[in-house]
Amino acid sequence: MVTETDVSQPDTAAATRTWPGRVGLLVVIIVLITVFVRNREVLSLDSLASQQDALRHSVIDCPVLVFGSAFLLYVVVTGLSLPGAAVMTLVYGWLFGFWQGVLLVSFASTTGATAAFLMSRFLLLDLIQNRFHDRLVTFNQALKREGAFYLFTLRLIPQVPFFLVNLVMGLTPVRTITFWWVSQLGMLPGTCIYVYAGASIGNLETLRDRGLSGILTWQLAVAFTLLGLFPLLIRRLMTIVTGRPTATSGVQE
């Protein structure tokens, strides 16, 4: 549960979010996106499938370099909200195996999400809070009361876009450290399922030719179903334990 100490007042750091700083950050973001777009074919599933033997050998020959490069690449993709994170998760599961894949993707996705959260806060928080301050009072109060659980619930729902959670939460008073640890926990179940699916792939050509449906087993189907039901079960449990509505209803008051 988020308390008064778990949130930061939007206007305290306003002086540091100057227009030159915002413009500079936007330039960096545009450059990174441009580089990614121009080299997206190298990271496509077709390209990776054609080099799968070389990828396997690179992990054996240079494990630290490959692991570190994969980590940074995942951070950039998730931090800039670029497409392909789901496929990358499957590929990392195939390349590194379940345990190493979960370790990499879990921390890299949280790092990228936090970077996106901070960019949203730096670029837009002052504008949104100043313009809609009166309308956001109730919402901010709800976040002070149960913001951590609200974020945790959003992270557990696969239908809620990853980038949207980062963007919206960056416009709230939730503290960065709270965003970090809640995201780390909330995204872990989905990460485990996707990495496990990737680790069960015999080769990348199967994933390229048949997609996720080609590797979907009844175990994975059950896991995805439970992942979708988990937020509802947690919400019901918290309502029983606390005797009052959970964060989802609280934010809508």
Residue-by-residue DSSP string for 182-196: HHHHHHHHHHHHHHH
Give yes or no for a contact between 75 and 53, defined as CB atoms under 8 angstroms apart.
Answer: no
What are residue 189's DSSP bridge partners?
Answer: none
Give yes or no for a contact between 145 and 1, defined as CB atoms under 8 angstroms apart.
Answer: yes
Count of residues in the chain = 253
Q: Residue 214: its pLDDT value, please?
A: 60
Q: Residue 146: its pLDDT value, please?
A: 67
189 closest CA partner among 85, 248, 105, 126: 105
Provide CB contacts within 8 A for 173, sequence distance 6+.
7, 8, 9, 10, 140, 143, 144
User: Whole-model pTM above 0.95?
Assistant: no
Q: Residue 202: its pLDDT value, please?
A: 77
Rounded-to-integer distance, Cα 181 and Cα 185, Å: 6
Question: HSE (CB half, 13 Å, CA atoms) of 9?
Answer: 3
Provide CB contacts within 8 A for 164, sequence distance 6+.
none
Distances (CA, A) of 203 to 55, 101, 140, 229: 12, 16, 48, 31
Helix (H, G, I), strand (E, B) or coil at 28: helix
Domain regions of the chain by residue span:
4-251
Helix (H, G, I), strand (E, B) or coil at 7: strand
Q: Residue 7: its pLDDT value, please?
A: 44
Which own/partner contact pairs does 221-225 have at CB distance under 8 Å and 24+ positions apart?
A: 223/193, 223/196, 224/158, 224/193
Q: Residue 100: its pLDDT value, please?
A: 95
Q: What is the DSSP letter of 174?
A: B
140 closest CA partner among 26, 251, 12: 251
Give, for all 253 residues of the chain, the pLDDT tens digit.
Answer: 444 444 444 443 444 457 677 777 788 888 888 887 777 777 777 778 888 888 889 999 999 999 999 999 999 999 998 888 888 998 999 999 999 999 999 999 999 999 999 998 888 777 666 666 666 666 666 666 666 777 887 787 767 788 888 988 888 878 899 999 999 998 998 899 889 888 888 787 777 776 666 666 666 677 667 766 766 776 676 666 655 554 443 333 3
Q: Residue 103: its pLDDT value, please?
A: 96
Q: Which residues of 104-121 are buried (b: 16+ CB within 10 A; e: fewer)?
A: bbbebbbbbbbbbbbbbb
